[in-house]
Structure 1
Amino acid sequence: MIENNFVAITATFLVYLVVMLLIGYYAYMRTSNSSDYFLGGRTLGPWPAALSAGASDMSGWLLLGLPGYAYAAGMESLWLAAGLLIGTWANWTVAAKRLRTYSITTDNSLTLPEFLSRRFQDKSKMVQTIAAFFILIFFLFYTSSGLVAGGKLFETVFGLDYTTAVIIGTVCIVSYTLFGGFLAVSWTDLVQGLLMSAALLVVPISAMQGGFGQVITDLSAINPELVTLWNGVDGQPLTWIAIVSLMAWGLGYFGQPHILARFLATRTNKDLITARRIAVTWTILSMAGAVLVGLVGLLYVQDNLSGGLVDGEKIFMLLVNAVFHPVIAGILLAAILAAIMSTADSQLLVSSSALAEDFYKQWIRTDASPAEIMMVGRLGVIALALVALWLAMSPDSSVLGLVSYAWAGFGAAFGPALLLSLFWKRMNRNGALAGLLVGGFTIVVWKQLEGGIFDLYEIVPGIIFATTAIIITSLVTAAPEKSVTDQFDEYKKNLIEFD
C-alpha cells in the first residue's frame, strides 16, 4: 500500500523485532528450570502481570477484529466491549487471588490442568489429561488467529504473498518464545501492551483532527442505525440473543489458561490488587480506542474509497497509512505485530506446558528432570506453531471468528470447573471431569448448529451445561476424601495469611 515508504517502515519493524529478541535473550539468561520457563519463578510485579494479561488476552483481534466489527456494526460493538470490560474486572476480582493461593497450596502447581488434578487429588490423571487435551485443541485455533492477523499485516504493509507473510510472522513469534519462556513473554507483553493502547488512542484522534469529522454526526449521515445500541445495521431491533451473545464474551475470562497463568506467576496477593486496577484501566482505554478506530474508519472510507473496504479488519492499517509519516506509521503498525506476538507467544507457551507437564511428565517420563521438561516444552513450541501455521494458511480466515470459537471453548470447558473448585468444598473429581467434558463438547456441537436458539453464542449454553453437570455429578457421587477437604481448609486459611 505504501511502496514509496517501504524502507522507512521496514526499518521501524526491524528495530522493533530486534528489541523484542533482546528481551527474549535476557529472559533466556534468567531461565534455568521448568518453573522459570512456564511461570517465571512467580516473580511478576503488578505492571508486567496486568499488561501481560491484557496484551495476551486481546491479541491481534483488538487492532483488527474489534475495529473491523465496529466498522461493520457501529455502536452495536459497544455491547461486546462492555462484556469484555466486565469480564476483565470480574476475573481479577473473583479468581486471581484465590487461584494463586490455591495453586501454591496444591504443591506449587504450574499449569491449570496440574492445579485441577491436584485440587481433587486425581490419581487416575484423567482430569489433567482431559484438561490438557482441550488446551491443545482450542489453542491451535486461537494461535492460528494470531498468525492470520500477522499475515494480513505483512500482506497489507509490504505487499507480500499471504503465505509468505504468515510464515514470517510465525518465525518472529517462535524465536523469542522458544528461548525466553514466560519471562520473555511477560516482559515483551509489558512493552507491547503499552504500544497497543497508545496506538489505539492516537490513530482515531489524529484521524479526526485531520478532517474526518465528528463521529456521531457523520455516522448518522452514513447510516443512522450505526449510532444506536438497540438496532442492527439493517434497522431491525437487536434480539435478546444478539445482545446476550455479545455480552457473554465476558464470561470467557474465567477459563482462559494464558490469562490465568499471570495470576499464578504474580509475586504476592497484594500485587494482584494493584495489577487489577492497571488491567481494568488498560482495557477501558484499549477497547474504547478500538471501537473508535472502526467508527472513524467509516468516515474515511466514505470520503476516500469509492469502492469501499472489502476486508473491514484492515481498517486500522488503512487509517495509519493515510494519516501518519512513514516512520510513525511503522511504529503504529508495529502495534499490530505487538498484539499478535503478545498473545500467540502466550498461547504457544501454555500449550507447550500442557504438552510437557501434563502429557510427557504424567504419561511418558514421570521422573523427568526440570531441565528435560523445559526442553520438551521448547520442542512443543515448534511443533504446535507448525500445526497452527497450517491452520492459518487460508487468506479468507477471520481473526474474530477464530478467536470467538477458541474463547468459547476455554470459557465453557475451564471456567465453571475453575470457579466452583475455588468456592465449593463439596465439588469432587467426578464433577470436575463432567464439567470439562460437557463444557468442551457443548462448544463443538453447538457451533455446528444454526437458527433460532442455536444462534446464541455457544459459550452461554456451554457454561450453563458445564455448571449443571458439575453440580449434579458431584452431588450424586461420593463426597471428596478427607485429604481433599483438609486441603481446601488449608487454602482458605492461606487466603488470609497470604494477604
Structure 2
Amino acid sequence: MSVSNPTLITFVIYIAAMVLIGLMAYRSTNNLSDYILGGRSLGSVVTALSAGASDMSGWLLMGLPGAIYMSGLSESWIAVGLIAGAYLNWLFVAGRLRVQTEHNGDALTLPDYFSSRFEDKSGLLRIISAVVILVFFTIYCASGIVAGARLFESTFGMSYETALWAGAAATIAYTFIGGFLAVSWTDTVQATLMIFALILTPIIVLLATGGVDTTFLAIEAKDPTNFDMLKNTTFIGVISLMGWGLGYFGQPHILARFMAADSVKSIAKARRISMTWMILCLGGTVAVGFFGIAYFSAHPEVAGPVTENPERVFIELAKILFNPWVAGVLLSAILAAVMSTLSCQLLVCSSALTEDFYKTFLRKSASQVELVWVGRAMVLLVALIAIAMAANPENRVLGLVSYAWAGFGAAFGPVVLISVIWKGMTRNGALAGILVGATTVIVWKHFSLLGLYEIIPGFIFASLAIYFVSKMGAPTAGMVERFDAAEKDYNLNK
C-alpha cells in the first residue's frame, strides 16, 4: 500500500474532517444535555439527515447490495418494509415523542422518558430498559465495526485484526470529543456523501454494461428468476422482510433525533426531507446489487472477491469503475454509513450508562462536567467491548444487524408507540411490554420458529402484554394530566 494511494489520501482527508467537526462541537458542549441531545437544538435538515444516516449503517452499502446480488429482487422486500416503517414512525411518533419527553421531566434518554412518563419510583423500568439498550446496542455496534473492518481490509489489504482498529478509531475519536452535536453534524455530511455514492454508482455500472436493455438481458441470462420478487420466498419470507419496518418505532438512536429537534414545527419538514433521502438511497442500493449481477457475469475475471463475499459488491464496483480519487470518495460513503450509525449507538449506550446508572444510582449530585467526562469514558468502554465481539472475521454484517434491530423493535417499539398515543397505558404495562418483547426475540431467534423474523412475534406479543396488563390497573391522575397537556401542545404546534 503506497502512501500516495489516492483512496488512502481521500480517507485520511475525510476522517480528519469528521474529527475537526468533533472539535467544533466540543466547544458547544457545556453539560450532559448538550452531550446527549445537543441541547434540543437541531433544525429540520439536520434532524432529517441525521435520523437517516444514523439508521442506515454499513448494511446499506454492504449487507443489502450483497443480498440483492446473491438472490435478485426478492430481497428488496426489506427496502419496502423499511420505507413504510420509517414513514409511519415520522408520522405517529416523531412529533409526539418530542413533546412528551419535554412534558415528562425534560427526559434525555428513553429509560429516562419511560421512568418519568409512568412515574416509576422503583427505578425498575429505568434499569431494565437501560440493560436492553446495552445488550442489543453492543451487538449493533459490533456490526458497524465489522463493516468498517471489511472496508479497510478490502481497500488497503490490511489484516482483519488491523482493519478492525483502523475502522473504529476515527468514530470513537469524534464521538468521544464532541458528543451528540458532533454526531449530528457529521451525520449530515455523511448522509450527503451516501446519497451521492448511491445515485452515481448504479448509473456508471449501467453505462459500463451497455445501458438498461443490455444490463437487463445480462441479468436475465444469468438467472431469469432474478427479476422475480417472489423467487424462493414464501408468504412468511415476505412478511419477515417487510417486518423490518416495525423496528423503527423502537430504535433509540433514531428516536433520539426526534427528541433533539428544536421544535415540533420542524418535524413535518424533516419527515419530507428524510423520506426523500431514504427512498433514493434504498433505490440506489438495490440498483447497485442488481446491476452488479450483470457487470460481474460479463467480467468474471474480476468477480473473485465478490464471489467470495457478496457484501463487497459495492466496494469492488467502486474500485474497478472509477478513477482512484472518485473511488476514494465513494468508498468513504461506506465509512460514512458505518461511522454515522456506530457513533449514534456508542452515544446512546454512553447516555444509558451515564444518565440511567451513574447519575441515578451512584452520583445523584455529580456536576455537569463530571457527567460529560463519565459519558466520554463510557463511549470508550462500550467501543472496546464491541471491538472484542467483532473480532471473529466470519461475522456477517446483516446477520448482526437483524438480531439487534429485532431486539429494539420488539422491546421498545410497542412501548414507545403506545405511550405517545394512549393515555391509558400504565407502568406495569410498559414493564410487561419491554420484558415480553425482548424475551420473545431471544427465544424465537434461538429456536428459529416457523422461519419467521423474530421482530414480528416480539412486536405482537409485547403490544398485547402492554394492553392487557395496563387494563389490570389504571394510570395516575398526574400521568393522564401530563399526557393531555403534551397532546394539546403537539396539536397546537404540529
Determine the structure 1 residue equivalent to 2:489. Answer: 494
Paired residue secondary structure (2:394):
coil
| Alignment counterpart, residue 263 of structure 2, candidates 249, 268, 281 | 268
Is the 8 Å Cα contact of residues 81 and 242 (structure 2) preserved in structure 1? Answer: yes
- Residue 343 (structure 1) aligned with residue 341 (structure 2): yes
Is the 8 Å Cα contact of residues 5 and 326 (structure 1) preserved in structure 2? Answer: no
User: How far off its partner does 1:10 sit?
Assistant: 0.9
Partners in 2 of 1:346 and 1:278 — Cα distance?
Answer: 20
| Alignment counterpart, residue 243 of structure 1, candidates 238, 245, 248 | 238
Is the 8 Å Cα contact of residues 59 and 398 (structure 2) preserved in structure 1? Answer: yes
Alignment of 1:400-479 (within 5 A): 400-450=398-448, 453=450, 455-476=451-472, 478-479=473-474
5+ unaligned residues in a row in structure 1: which ranges?
233-237
| Alignment counterpart, residue 11 of structure 1, candidates 5, 9, 12 | 9
Match for 2:430: what amino acid? Answer: A
Partners in 2 of 1:495 and 1:67 — Cα distance?
Answer: 39
Determine the structure 2 residue equivalent to 1:48. Answer: 46
Paired residue secondary structure (1:393):
coil
Determine the structure 1 residue equivalent to 2:286. Answer: 291
Match for 1:220: what amino acid? Answer: E
User: How far off its partner does 1:217 sit?
Assistant: 2.4
User: How far off its partner does 1:174 sit?
Assistant: 0.4
Match for 1:264: what amino acid? Answer: M
Alignment of 1:59-458 (within 5 A): 59-211=57-209, 213-214=211-212, 215-232=215-232, 238-306=233-301, 308=304, 309-450=307-448, 453=450, 455-458=451-454
User: How far off its partner does 1:369 sit?
Assistant: 2.1
Match for 2:217: what amino acid? Answer: T
Q: Compared with structure 1, are the counterparts of its residues 277 and 328 closer, same or farther at alpha carbon in structure 2 (3 Å cutoff)?
A: same
User: How far off its partner does 1:111 sit?
Assistant: 0.5
Alignment of 1:1-40 (within 5 A): 7-40=5-38
TM value normalised by structure 1:
0.96
- Residue 480 (structure 1) aligned with residue 481 (structure 2): no
User: How far off its partner does 1:213 sit?
Assistant: 4.7
User: How far off its partner does 1:180 sit?
Assistant: 0.3
User: How far off its partner does 1:450 sit?
Assistant: 2.6
Match for 1:434: what amino acid? Answer: A
Partners in 2 of 1:386 and 1:341 — Cα distance?
Answer: 15
User: How far off its partner does 1:292 sit?
Assistant: 0.6
Partners in 1 of 2:210 and 2:310 — Cα distance?
Answer: 18
Deviations 1:131-173 (A, max 9, x none): 1100000001111100000110000000000010011111111
Partners in 1 of 2:133 and 2:336 — Cα distance?
Answer: 23
Is the 8 Å Cα contact of residues 202 and 287 (structure 2) preserved in structure 1? Answer: yes
Match for 1:271: what amino acid? Answer: S
- Give RMSD over aligned pairs: 1.2
Is the 8 Å Cα contact of residues 180 and 347 (structure 2) preserved in structure 1? Answer: yes
Partners in 2 of 1:317 and 1:217 — Cα distance?
Answer: 24
Deviations 1:17-66 (A, max 9, x none): 11111111000011100010000011101111111110010111100011
User: How far off its partner does 1:4 sit?
Assistant: 7.2
Partners in 2 of 1:88 and 1:467 — Cα distance?
Answer: 19
Aligned length: 489
TM value normalised by structure 2:
0.97
Deviations 1:468-487 (A, max 9, x none): 111111112x2121111111
Partners in 2 of 1:216 and 1:435 — Cα distance?
Answer: 47
5+ unaligned residues in a row in structure 2: which ranges?
none
Partners in 2 of 1:337 and 1:155 — Cα distance?
Answer: 12
Match for 2:24: what amino acid? Answer: Y
Q: 306-315 vs 25-34, which deviates more?
A: 306-315
Deviations 1:226-261 (A, max 9, x none): 1011222xxxxx211100000000010000000000
Determine the structure 2 residue equivalent to 1:235. Answer: none
Partners in 2 of 1:49 and 1:492 — Cα distance?
Answer: 21
Paired residue secondary structure (2:447):
coil
